[in-house]
Amino acid sequence: MSEWVPVDRWHECARMERPGVLFEVVNAEGQRILTPCVKTLPVPFGWTSPPIQFRIVAAARPRHSSPIPPPGGKPAGQR
């Protein structure tokens, strides 16, 4: 994670963007969102105050899901 940056520097996010990172944005109440660098910073509907700062955080690593069972609950290979 990086240091917090004032939200008035959001226009610099494209320069800070790297593969595998997102931006964590926080408001005065401590509410947080994760977002990629976008031209207009998204503000969730439920936020009662505007964003005040952001920082770079590592994006969650993708993971494989469990196999989907076959239809009818029969083990694979049986009919």
Classify each residue of 49-79 as buried b or exposed e, where b means 16 or more C-beta atoms within 10 Å of its C-beta.
eebebbbbeeeeeeeeeeeeeeeeeeeeeee
Q: Which two tokens stand for residue 72?
A: 């009818």
Which of 7, 72, 68 is CA-nearest to residue 35?
7
Global confidence as pTM: 0.74
For the cut 80, the answer to whether the pLDDT of residue 70 exceeds it is no
pLDDT score at 19: 92
Summarize pLDDT for 10-56 with one digit per residue, the tens. Answer: 999 999 999 999 999 999 999 999 999 999 998 899 999 999 999 99
Q: Domain segments of the chain: what residues?
A: 5-60
